Chains A and B, each alone.
Chain A
Amino acid sequence: MIEIKLENISKVYQQGFSRTSVLEGIDLLIEPGELFFLLGPSGCGKTTLLRILAGLVEPSSGRIYFDGQDVTSLPPEKRGTAMVFQNYALWPHMKVIENVEFGPRMQGIEAAPCRRIALEKLAIVQMQEYAARKPSQLSGGQQQRAALARALAAEPQCLLLDEPLSNLDARLRAKMRVELRRLVKSTQTTAVYVTHDQKEALSMADRIAVLNAGRIVQVGTPQEVYQRPQNEFVADFIGEANFVSGHLLQTNPMRIRTPAGVLASAMKTERPAGSEVKCCVRPEKIQIRGKEQFADRNIPNLLAGTIQSIAYYGDMSQIEVRLAGGIVWAVSVFSSEAQTLSAGAEILCGVNPSDVIVLGK
């Protein structure tokens, strides 16, 4: 278990006269034993950051500390990290057991104990019976588990996982999320996990760093980044969100005039009245009722609208509502509830002020 600290890490690729900046000013502190996620869209620099941690890519500037010790210039084989690669990188010319033994072998451990460690780790991932197979004889899920066993067998200070579930089908991916978190947490190793899948991050992480265009835009627990996104990018990238811009009528408690109507928010702000702000409301936080069904019309955040369309997704349905000012919001409701509604119906949308998120600039 180690603490990982990144200080002002940046990475620039220079080819001829063109310069591509991949990472800029990354500062991060990962607690010992934490399962930490780097989440962001393709090309945001998350894999580069992971490879910088592994020592496979040199940062252009900045320092990396493992438990306070500067490891920036250590070669990859001296870092004590073990990585699960996106394509698993299981060596095709070696059997599964030989792949798993590789790490302990490199640490100078004798053959017999190496074999014992490898079998132990294969047992943890329930792959013992495949030990004698070649990687090409394994399914995607089995390859993923073998790659994890290989990384675990090295008993690393830090486990690095590069989108390890991205090659699996949706069903297996959902199953492996739970299993992978259990396995990683049981080793008590600090782990850094890269993904672009927000569901994976929300369901598995202790904490998440959201990256965009080479910068960290928010760090927090899954609840924090989902419920209190700090900007439009995070709100939009993690889960679905409805946005509306407006002007602050009143501060603390906040009241915002928007084209759809006046919205109240329970959040605190230091911005003066009259400032331009953007509000975000999650689709599942909106209640839809017929006009007569809201008894008290004076409760805050009651917006009148017309149902444009209803999309059925099994247990849930998504309703598109056109509000005043031409603003269209998506609303998630249980399908049983949606049955009572129809396109063209005049409705009221209600939002609790604590669910109206006022985003930063």
Chain B
Amino acid sequence: METPAAEKPFWQRWIKQIEPLAAGELLLFCFVGVFFFYPLFKVVQTGLMFEGHFSFYWVGRLFSNRILMGQIANSFFLACVTTGLCVLLTLPMAMVSTRYQFRGQGFLTMLLLAPLILPPFVGALSIKRYLGQFGILNLVLERVGLLDLSEGLPPDWLGSGFWVVAILQTLNLFPILYLNLSAALANLDPSYGEAARNLGAGPLRVFWRITLPLLRPGLFAGGAIVFIWSFTDVGTPLMVGYEQLASVKVFKELARADVSGRTYSLVLVMLVLSVVFYLLGKLVFGRSSGVDMAKGASASAGHPLGPLGTAAVWVFLGAVIFTAVLPHVGVVLTAVSGRWIDTILPERYTMDHILFVLRQPDTRRAILNSLLYAALSTGADLVIGLAAAWMLVRRRLLGARLLDLCLMLPLAVPGVILAAGYIAMTAPGKLLEAIGPMRNPLLILVIAYTIRRAPFVVRAVTAGLQQIPEALEAAARNLGAGPLRAVGKITLPLIAANLIASGLLTFSYAMLEVSDSLVLAQLREHYPITKEIYTQAYSANADAVNIAAALGVLGMLVLGGSLATAAILLGRRLGAIFRV
């Protein structure tokens, strides 16, 4: 017979009172505290220390350094240009794909996501092939008679590289904004626009006065990710060879053996700027317009387009897709080209490079390393995502909203800044030195990947849980299932699509993560794919670019397959994971 509660010893009663989930919540707070806030604190602390004292010495030096200030300004300008280009490109695309019906709509809108399968950093591998002085563009211009290569040096379309970086980033990042905008548009009650038309506003006025203001949160959600991504992107400028950026400077400094307060002051300024831009954006664009209060909101079926309209849409979307996949095509062709010099297409094709990266110990190890890091971080993300979403949606635990916010913050904090924090945290002589990049970075890389991708999983699982009425679990409990059984038998199967899709995305993004990988993997035996691509591309090997491209192709296959599966599983909800 069970002992009555009052007679149980004190400690047993106390343990029984601790809600297991609350303990889990505490654990998650600790995890985020140690591996997100503490590294950021280290960045701030190291940047504000001089000779063992709190000081603005390094920050002051930074502000008086015109080269560094110029690099920060360049980074800011680059982020503005990339975000602006993305907005200009995606607004009409989202309007067309949500407000109209046309033949091949599903096919074209799926192809619009294609750029996501290639980090711009890898795409940059092929950009010199297209735009270099003896690149494909000049060869095509010569072929059609617009350029004479025998008359002096042909134009170098790469220029300083700034615009190439901006365009590459735009072509890679626009799908994130597109997904956000089309989801926001699809959720917008069409009667808002109809009411304005009905009261005398023409289509342009309706767009300007009603649609655009109501789209602001969606615009912010996607725009913030694009802006911060671009502001702190390391890989693309490095590969293009444009190094006048603060992020590149940070990367180069962090790779040195002795990282000084000077580097951290730059990281600190970038962190502050990222947060300020984020908050400013949130203030101006991100305020909720109260759209949720609309009753009976319904998605409009879309206006069917005639043959002319359909043709125009195909030309527009087709041109965007064509341009966006050019870097992919370039990478694939580079990977399989046997000889490709001064010709528009390769003269000879070979599978040697692909086979080489699968056989050669360094590249094969990099692939296996990435698989291991990505698998571990995906597992961790799924556990965190499920636990956090459960606490927030089902149990509504005290502090769950705060936890959700903390888990979302990594989206607003650039990878390179967090990586700098990890370097500071694991510096020689520190408590966590053993997991630092100079020893074995497995743990710190897995943690970095986990923290950076957790927002995607939390969002996806939360969205899934919100769509499942609690009554379904209650019914199972009512029929005799215990809490775990109810979750296992009812909830998990119902949110399986969300779990699998976000897991796949997390896995593939971890496979091709750039910032943390470049900064935190410093010994070759621990290199993941991206760092190996970077190393190969800059090696003295004659086939360096081909081998790097072959590695890129393998990455594309993983990311492409995962995205396609996620898109099929999640459908329109795919956009929900790319939100701040």
Residue positions of A touching B, CB distance < 8 A:
51, 54-56, 75-79, 81-83, 85-89, 91-93, 102-103, 106-107, 134-136, 150-151, 154, 160, 167
Q: Which residues of B contact A103 (CB under 8 A)?
A: 199-200
CA distance A135 to B191 in the complex (A): 15
> CB-CB contacts of B185-217 with A at 8 A, as 1s and 0s?
000010110111111111001000110011010
Interface size on B, residues (CB 8 A): 26
- If A87-B191, A89-B189, A91-B210 touch, whether A82 touches B199 (CB-CB below 8 Å) is yes
Interface of chain B: mostly helix, strand, loop or mixed: helix
CB pair B294–A87 under 8 Å, yes or no, is yes
Interface residues of B in 83-129 (CB under 8 A from A): none
CB pair B205–A106 under 8 Å, yes or no, is yes
CA distance A4 to B376 in the complex (A): 70
Lowest 8 A-B CB distances belong to which pairs? A106-B200, A92-B290, A136-B290, A89-B191, A93-B289, A103-B199, A76-B197, A89-B195
CB pair B200–A92 under 8 Å, yes or no, is no
CA distance A155 to B304 in the complex (A): 32
CB pair A85–B195 under 8 Å, yes or no, is yes
Q: Which residues of B contact A150 (CB under 8 A)?
A: 195, 199
Q: Is B291 interfacial (CB 8 A cutoff)? A: yes
Q: Which residues of A contact B296 (CB under 8 A)?
A: 86-87, 167
Q: Which residues of A contact B201 (CB under 8 A)?
A: 77, 102, 106
B519: min CB distance to chain A, Å: 42
> Chain B residue with minimal CB distance to A85?
B191
CB pair A88–B289 under 8 Å, yes or no, is no
> Chain A residue with minimal CB distance to B200?
A106
CB pair B191–A91 under 8 Å, yes or no, is no
With A87-B191, A87-B295 given, name 19 new contacts (CB 8 A): A55-B198, A56-B198, A81-B198, A82-B198, A85-B194, A86-B296, A87-B294, A87-B296, A89-B191, A91-B196, A102-B199, A102-B209, A103-B199, A106-B200, A135-B290, A136-B293, A150-B195, A154-B200, A167-B295
CB pair B194–A134 under 8 Å, yes or no, is no
B289: min CB distance to chain A, Å: 4
Q: Which residues of A contact B291 (CB under 8 A)?
A: 92
CB pair A92–B294 under 8 Å, yes or no, is yes
CA distance A51 to B198 in the complex (A): 10
CB pair A134–B290 under 8 Å, yes or no, is yes
- If A103-B200, A107-B200 touch, whether A92 touches B195 (CB-CB below 8 Å) is no
| A–B complex contacts, Cβ < 8 Å, 25 sampled | A54-B198, A55-B197, A56-B197, A75-B197, A76-B198, A78-B200, A79-B198, A82-B198, A85-B195, A89-B191, A91-B192, A91-B195, A91-B210, A92-B214, A92-B289, A92-B293, A92-B294, A93-B289, A102-B196, A106-B196, A106-B199, A106-B200, A136-B290, A150-B195, A150-B199
Determine which of A83, A134, A135, A136 lies in contact with B198 in the assembled complex, contact meaning CB atoms within 8 Å. Answer: A83
CB pair A77–B197 under 8 Å, yes or no, is yes
CA distance A167 to B216 in the complex (A): 28
CA distance A88 to B198 in the complex (A): 13
CA distance A151 to B194 in the complex (A): 13
Q: Which residues of A contact B210 (CB under 8 A)?
A: 91
Q: Which residues of B contact A54 (CB under 8 A)?
A: 194, 198
CA distance A134 to B214 in the complex (A): 14
Q: Which residues of B contact A83 (CB under 8 A)?
A: 194-195, 198
CA distance A192 to B297 in the complex (A): 23
- If A87-B189, A91-B214, A93-B213 touch, whether A77 touches B198 (CB-CB below 8 Å) is yes
CA distance A167 to B293 in the complex (A): 13
> Chain A residue with minimal CB distance to B213?
A93
A173: min CB distance to chain B, Å: 15
CB pair A87–B297 under 8 Å, yes or no, is yes
Q: Which residues of A contact B216 (CB under 8 A)?
A: 93
CA distance A167 to B191 in the complex (A): 16
CA distance A81 to B200 in the complex (A): 9
B499: min CB distance to chain A, Å: 33
CA distance A165 to B28 in the complex (A): 48
A262: min CB distance to chain B, Å: 51
> Chain A residue with minimal CB distance to B201?
A106
Q: Which residues of A contact B195 (CB under 8 A)?
A: 83, 85, 89, 91, 150
CB pair A88–B290 under 8 Å, yes or no, is no
A110: min CB distance to chain B, Å: 15
B107: min CB distance to chain A, Å: 16
> Chain A residue with minimal CB distance to B214?
A93
CA distance A106 to B203 in the complex (A): 12
A191: min CB distance to chain B, Å: 14
CA distance A136 to B289 in the complex (A): 9
Q: Which residues of B contact A102 (CB under 8 A)?
A: 196, 199, 201, 209
Determine which of A51, A86, A154 lies in contact with B199 in the assembled complex, contact meaning CB atoms within 8 Å. Answer: A154
Q: Which residues of A contact B209 (CB under 8 A)?
A: 102
CA distance A150 to B191 in the complex (A): 14
A47: min CB distance to chain B, Å: 11
> Chain B residue with minimal CB distance to A134?
B290
CA distance A106 to B208 in the complex (A): 13
Q: Which residues of A contact B295 (CB under 8 A)?
A: 87-88, 167
- If A77-B201, A87-B295, A102-B199 touch, whether A56 touches B290 (CB-CB below 8 Å) is no
Q: Which residues of A contact B293 (CB under 8 A)?
A: 92, 135-136
CB pair B194–A89 under 8 Å, yes or no, is yes
CA distance A151 to B293 in the complex (A): 20
Q: Which residues of A contact B200 (CB under 8 A)?
A: 77-78, 103, 106-107, 154
Interface residues of B in 201-253 (CB under 8 A from A): 201-202, 205, 209-210, 213-214, 216
CA distance A175 to B214 in the complex (A): 33
CA distance A165 to B209 in the complex (A): 27
CA distance A88 to B199 in the complex (A): 13
Q: Which residues of A contact B192 (CB under 8 A)?
A: 89, 91
CA distance A123 to B191 in the complex (A): 25
B302: min CB distance to chain A, Å: 11
CA distance A54 to B199 in the complex (A): 10
Q: Which residues of B contact A86 (CB under 8 A)?
A: 191, 296
CA distance A292 to B194 in the complex (A): 65
B296: min CB distance to chain A, Å: 4
CA distance A154 to B199 in the complex (A): 7
CA distance A187 to B191 in the complex (A): 25
CB pair A93–B290 under 8 Å, yes or no, is yes
CA distance A335 to B287 in the complex (A): 57
CA distance A79 to B290 in the complex (A): 30
Q: Which residues of A contact B194 (CB under 8 A)?
A: 51, 54, 56, 76, 83, 85, 89
Q: Which residues of A contact B294 (CB under 8 A)?
A: 87, 89, 92
B208: min CB distance to chain A, Å: 12
B197: min CB distance to chain A, Å: 4
**B192, B214, B293, B297: residue with the most chain A Cβ atoms closer than 10 Å:** B293
> Chain A residue with minimal CB distance to B287?
A93
CA distance A157 to B75 in the complex (A): 56
CA distance A154 to B293 in the complex (A): 24
> Chain A residue with minimal CB distance to B294?
A87
